[in-house]
Amino acid sequence: MKGSKTLLMVIIFLLLVAVGWACQVGLSAEQTVFDNDYYRGILDETGLDSHIYGVMQDRLQEGISAEMPDNLAYVVTMVLSAVFNEEWVGKQILVLTDDIVLYLRGEQPSLQAAIDLREKKDQLRVNLENALTVIPDQILFMLGFDPQQLDALVGFLVYQLPLPDQLAVEELLAAWDTDDRLIDALAKIRQYQRFYGPLSVTGFALLLFAGSLLVGPFRALKWFGAAAVVSGLGFYLALQAGNYLYPVLLDSGFMEGRIFAHEIFIPVLEFSVNRIVYIPVYYALAGLAAVLLGTAADKISGSLLKRGKNPAESGN
């Protein structure tokens, strides 16, 4: 009988460790992907907006060079980079992330934000016209354009770069995430956020209750605390291992970074880990406190039981 109880408590212990990991993942998500300040911190601390701006410039250059002569492509690229500058890109990233946070938290049924481009389109026309005045008339003639009709040329260039009045965040993500992995991941994270809290509390309560039936409430509290210590330390080591191994695997070619280049992914990873690394530490300390509390309560309970038996024994 005693062996069966021990085996059952070991099973409960392992389940508590697993539930603890699920709880810590949820708490970590609350401090990262579900927190607007997390994304602002990334932009401030890692230079992610500068990286995205640089990638955008490179892709613009490639796309425009394929559609226009080199001289025009260079001018148009520079004008676009000036109109849609790094500061503007950073602001739009926050528009996107704020909308994603609302969606992940279940505060809206879908991604709903839209980036307004109307003002930028007007600015683009003006800047293009000003920029084209620096191109010698001979070159414009060679390209088949009349220098006296810059309005027509600007209209042609803008037509070559069709920009909508508004760009929906959902459409932007769909265009970027061609295999829908990011969209699917967001949907799964949204579901996890909805259920991890209630399920974690329910799991802890049921397992602690089952442990109390097997070995008593105070000993069950000790098992509960020990599981929290193991779970917290394990989660902490996993964070540190990931923080070290992931960049090594990326640099060695064993893994491929799908979203960001290595030089920006590593600081983003480090920033994220540093933001949540305290969670498993506090979780393990809470478990240690539960072990000490359960031990003290068990001893006090045992002492009181002995005192209660002594009068009866003396009377016999």
Q: How many alpha carbons fall within 13 Å on the CB side of residue 294?
A: 21
pLDDT at 125: 82
Token pair in block for residue 144? 């088949």
pLDDT for position 316? 45
pLDDT at 68 over 90: no
DSSP letter string, the chain: -HHHHHHHHHHHHHHHHHHHHHHHHHHHHHHTTT-HHHHHHHHHHH-HHHHHHHHHHHHHHHHHHHHS-HHHHHHHHHHHHHHT-HHHHHHHHHHHHHHHHHHHTTSSSS---EEE-HHHHHHHHHHHHHHHTTS-HHHHHHTT--TT-HHHHHHHHHHHS---SEEEHHHHHHHH-TTSHHHHHHHHHHHHHHHHHHHHHHHHHHHHHHHHHHH-HHHHHHHHHHHHHHHHHHHHHHHHHHHHHHHHHHHHTSS--SSS-HHHHHHHHHHHHHHHTHHHHHHHHHHHHHHHHHHHHHHHHHHHHHHHHHHHHHH-
pLDDT tens, residue by residue, 84-124:
888 888 898 899 899 989 999 888 888 888 888 888 888 88
pLDDT at 113: 87
Mean pLDDT for the stretch of residues 274-301: 92
| Exposure string for 298-310, b = 16+ CB within 10 A, e = fewer | beeeeeeeeeeee
Given a cut of 70, whether residue 178 has pLDDT beyond it is: no
Query: At residue 73, does pLDDT exceed 80?
Result: no
pLDDT, tens digit (0-9, with 9 covering 90-100), for 3-40: 788 899 999 999 999 999 999 999 999 999 899 999 99
The mean pLDDT value of the chain amounts to: 82
- Residue 315: per-residue pLDDT: 47
- Of 51-55, 159-163, 210-214, which range is least confident? 159-163
What percentage of residues in the chain have a pLDDT greater than 90? 31
